[in-house]
Amino acid sequence: MNPANFNAHPVYQKSLVLKDLSSAVATYFAYDGDFFNLKRTSALRDDIAYSLMTDANLITATFEQAYLAESDAVRNKSAKFINIMTRNIWSYCNGLEHDGVKEREYLNLLRREIKLFRAAFKQWRKSLK
């Protein structure tokens, strides 16, 4: 893969959108918006919000690793990890709903971005074969 084209790659761009939206949703719904404080709260919503942001960041970093990898084994391992992270984010949306979030339109917007990312990612994976 050409490292020069990486930042313009559609999957990378979609991962950035997913990361930004996840961060915004997490910050909006968390009781304590200070995620980088070492003190952890006992609120489930804060744990979900923190995990949402972490997994979205991991998707972007892992796609970069997969894109630049020379090895098919590394690409496949990274792709499996990305699939797990997207499923996790979907589950976090469900968890926030079950925790009583009333503004479901934000969660549905995030779910839509997950679907768009998955479609672009799947197309990229098929192009590797």
In tens digits, what is the pLDDT along the chain, a chain of 129 residues?
Answer: 566 677 888 999 999 999 999 999 999 988 765 555 545 556 888 899 999 999 999 999 999 999 999 999 999 999 999 999 999 999 999 999 999 888 999 999 999 999 999 999 999 999 877
Q: What's the total number of domains in the chain? A: 1
Structural domain containing residue 40: 3-128
CATH number, domain of 68, equals 1.20.1440
Q: Tally the C-alpha atoms within 13 A of residue 115's C-alpha that lie toward its C-beta.
A: 6
Report whether 82 contacts 59 (CB < 8 A): yes
